[in-house]
């Protein structure tokens, strides 16, 4: 006799049922395992295990049994059905056939599958990892464990795998993407969700296979090759993760065993009206194990460096996008989802402890307090939060005709009121260039000269503002069309006038930032920033100082007016030499090149603190000048 459950016991599943199993993928799903038979010796096969406690009967069907079904049994002491099937190996396709309490049958994909068929087919696929990480990965992980992301440069390139260069698979991307990102000077790439999802137009945000890689572009091992190549090039990998909701496809997680298993049964808690999806039951122990294991799975098994958690606001609030009377208050009568809050704290605390150097990033659009504060001081435990307020305000500003910008000046300065309430990332993401919002360059009014000059000035404003930076692909070279995942980026324009100049300037901005600690080192600390003039609304001009921990200084100016200011005065802390390190109006970037500053000398002001620095500011341009102390300066 051999073990019919493939060495899986009820004791193994106790953690899953108690909410404390953080590696549940090792126990559930399909695994090629060897069992010992007293008469025949060691036998190879696949163990199948699925949580379906309310099912009347469960079978595994697949190409190994002509889709006819082998009966599974409850693993003693658990709500998990199990079966070890001899002779089944990697590549086998399968589903679970589940009989509900009313006698009806339904076929379901495996919630813990590591691989799936290419949509629209939806069978799960038995997968055995073959990829061995290169020795360089050990060095990368050791470096990551010692890194300090808060005081380091973080320039993030957000990317949709399927349309960056249409048709490339993970291994082809491994040949092209790291070189491009390195050349452009980005430090990180953020991949939109690459978990298995049936509808390409959902961009991965409606996940049906939380543990499976999107098979359109290759296998899990192919993805590992891409991640390894990015790490070898010094690029950190951020992955979007979607724990807030999941789609209603009848072959996936929804009503998995005929009951609301992963989701709340009450539609006022278990359905997301905006997206037509189900909401996870965050208080259920098995769902806790499922989600925390999933977060750890991507970080540990794929060496992902950060998870950007999508739609956190929808998890935090019970009344999120719900009509009056259409939601259930918490036990204190409030609107906060206490179970989701506890789960997020649990996940964040666990990942930071288990995976040194990992980052957790919240896409959270409200003023919920302490999102990026540690759990032990009452925070949610994220490392960073997207600054959606800054994004909305600044985009509304640049959409205006320059003559009207003076009346909206505070939209560009208001973010400093709350800049240090969280550790912020400034995002210009895919959401801002789809669904009729237009591309970045086409948000800006008037002719091409003004459009591209304004965009160059805006990027210089963004890269010198407190916070880390994120830009969605295609916006670095000014793609005119809004993004469409079905056709890919318009790479043919990046060698044309305006487009090439913008891309080359973005490359310069990243490289200048990398060698100028004042532009990133104190992003989350008040000591790193000081306004020079935040009230020059008549000139549509903003000026400020950035500092590093060693006393280095950079004066930053952004002009959003079509008027040049040939003698613009700045009050700076130190007299002496200030050298221009960026001017977005240079000819090589399709600017006029008529207002280069070179090195300027700031003159002391009698009887007053600081010095007066007079510079030339081109129209619709950004200028950065770095203070260069004399060798004898203390």
Structural element, H or E, at residue 220? helix 220-232
339 has catalytic annotation: no
Backbone φ, ψ for residue 470 (5° rounding):
-135, 130
The two three-digit tokens of residue 606, written as one number: 């009698």
- Count Cα neighbours of 191 within 13 Å in the Cβ-side half-sphere: 27
Structural element, H or E, at residue 60? strand 57-62
373-412 burial: b if 16+ Cβ within 10 Å, else e = bbbeeebbbbbbbbbbbbbebbbebbbbebeebbeebebb
310 has catalytic annotation: yes
3-state secondary structure 93-110: EEEEEEECCCCCEEEECC
Task: In whole angstroms, give the CA distance from residue 79 to residue 55.
Answer: 10
Pairing, β 188-191 against β 155-159: parallel
Task: In whole angstroms, give the CA distance from residue 482 to residue 330.
Answer: 41
Query: Is the C-alpha dihedral spanning 125, 131, 133, 134 positive or negative?
Result: negative
3-state secondary structure 18-59: HCCCCCHHHCCEEEEEEEEECCCEEEEEEEEEEECCCCCEEE
- Count Cα neighbours of 348 within 13 Å in the Cβ-side half-sphere: 26
Task: In whole angstroms, give the CA distance from residue 236 to residue 180.
Answer: 14
3-state secondary structure 290-352: HHHHHHHHHHHHCCCCEEEECCHHHHHECCCCCCCCCCCCCCCCCCECHHHHHHHHHHHHHHH
Q: Which of 310, 339, 411, 504 is catalytic?
A: 310
- Number of Cβ within a 10 Å radius of residue 436: 5
Closest alpha carbon to 418 in 368, 461, 459: 368
Q: Which of 214, 271, 363, 482 is catalytic?
A: 363
Looking at residue 448, the DSSP 8-state letter turns out to be: H
Backbone φ, ψ for residue 599 (5° rounding):
-110, 130
Could you list the beta-strand ranges (E) of 170-305: 188-191, 195-196, 209-213, 236-241, 245-246, 271-272, 277-279
Is residue 396 within 8 Å of residue 438, measured between CB atoms?
no
Task: In whole angstroms, give the CA distance from residue 265 to residue 271.
Answer: 9
596-612 burial: b if 16+ Cβ within 10 Å, else e = ebeebebeeeeeeeebe
Cis peptide before 580 (omega within 30 of 0): no
Is residue 468 within 8 Å of residue 426, measured between CB atoms?
yes
Q: Any residues with CB less than 8 A from the CB of 300 and at least 6 apart, and which?
A: 354, 355
3-state secondary structure 249-271: CCCCCCCCCCCCCCECCCHHHHE
Q: Catalytic residue positions? A: 310, 363
């Amino acid at each position: 006799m051999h073990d019919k459950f493939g060495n899986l016991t009820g004791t193994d599943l106790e953690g899953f049922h108690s909410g404390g199993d953080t590696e549940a993928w090792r126990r559930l799903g399909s695994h090629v395992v060897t069992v010992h038979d007293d008469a025949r010796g060691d036998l190879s096969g696949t163990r199948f295990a699925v949580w379906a406690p309310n099912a009347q009967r469960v079978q595994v069907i697949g190409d190994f049994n002509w889709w006819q079904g082998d009966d599974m049994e409850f693993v003693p002491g658990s709500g998990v059905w199990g079966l070890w099937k001899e002779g089944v190996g990697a590549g086998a396709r399968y589903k679970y056939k589940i009989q509900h309490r009313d006698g009806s049958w339904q076929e379901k994909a495996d919630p813990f599958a590591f691989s799936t068929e290419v949509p629209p087919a939806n069978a799960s696929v038995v997968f055995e990892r073959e990829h061995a990480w290169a020795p360089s990965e050990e060095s990368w992980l050791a470096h990551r464990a010692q890194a300090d992301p808060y005081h380091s440069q973080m320039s993030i390139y957000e990317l949709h795998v399927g349309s960056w260069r249409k048709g490339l698979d993970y291994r082809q991307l491994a040949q092209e993407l790291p070189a491009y990102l390195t050349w452009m000077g980005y430090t990180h790439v953020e991949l939109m969700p690459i978990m298995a999802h049936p509808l390409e137009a959902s961009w991965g945000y409606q996940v049906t296979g939380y543990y499976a890689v999107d098979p359109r572009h290759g296998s899990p091992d192919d993805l590992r090759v891409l991640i390894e190549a990015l790490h070898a090039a010094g690029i950190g990998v951020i992955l979007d993760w979607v724990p807030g909701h999941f789609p209603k496809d009848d072959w996936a997680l929804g009503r998995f065993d005929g009951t609301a298993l992963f989701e709340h049964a009450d539609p006022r808690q278990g359905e997301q009206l905006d997206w037509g999806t189900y909401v996870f039951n965050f208080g259920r122990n098995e769902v806790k194990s499922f989600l925390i294991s999933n977060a750890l799975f991507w970080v540990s098994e794929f060496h992902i460096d950060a998870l950007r958690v999508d739609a956190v606001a929808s998890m935090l609030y019970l009344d999120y996008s719900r009509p009056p009377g259409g939601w259930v208050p918490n036990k204190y009568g409030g609107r906060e989802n206490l179970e989701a809050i506890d789960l997020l704290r649990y996940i964040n605390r666990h990942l930071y402890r288990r995976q040194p150097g990992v980052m957790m990033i919240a896409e959270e659009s409200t003023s919920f307090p302490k999102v990026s504060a540690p759990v032990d001081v009452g925070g949610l435990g994220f490392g960073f939060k997207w600054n959606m307020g800054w994004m909305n305000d600044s985009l509304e500003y640049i959409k205006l005709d320059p003559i009207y910008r003076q009346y909206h000046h505070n939209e560009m300065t208001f973010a400093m009121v709350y800049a240090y309430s969280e550790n912020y990332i400034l995002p210009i993401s895919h959401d801002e260039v789809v669904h009729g919002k237009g591309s970045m360059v086409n948000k800006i009014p008037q002719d091409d000269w003004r459009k591209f000059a304004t965009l160059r000035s805006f990027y210089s404003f963004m890269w010198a503002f407190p916070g880390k930076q994120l830009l969605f692909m295609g916006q670095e070279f000014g793609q005119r069309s809004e993004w469409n995942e079905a056709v890919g980026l318009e790479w043919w324009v990046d060698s044309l006038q305006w487009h090439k100049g913008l891309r080359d300037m973005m490359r310069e901005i990243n490289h200048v930032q990398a060698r100028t600690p004042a532009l990133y080192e104190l992003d989350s600390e008040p000591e790193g920033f000081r306004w020079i003039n935040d009230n020059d609304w008549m000139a549509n001009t903003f000026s400020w100082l950035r500092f590093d921990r060693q006393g280095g200084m950079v004066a930053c100016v952004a002009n959003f007016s079509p008027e040049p200011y040939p003698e613009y005065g700045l009050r700076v802390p130190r007299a002496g030499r200030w050298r221009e390190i960026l001017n977005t109006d240079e000819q090589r970037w399709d600017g006029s090149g008529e207002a280069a500053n070179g090195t300027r000398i700031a003159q002391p002001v009698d009887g007053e603190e600081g010095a007066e620095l007079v510079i030339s500011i081109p129209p619709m341009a950004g200028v950065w000048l770095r203070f260069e102390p004399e060798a004898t300066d203390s």
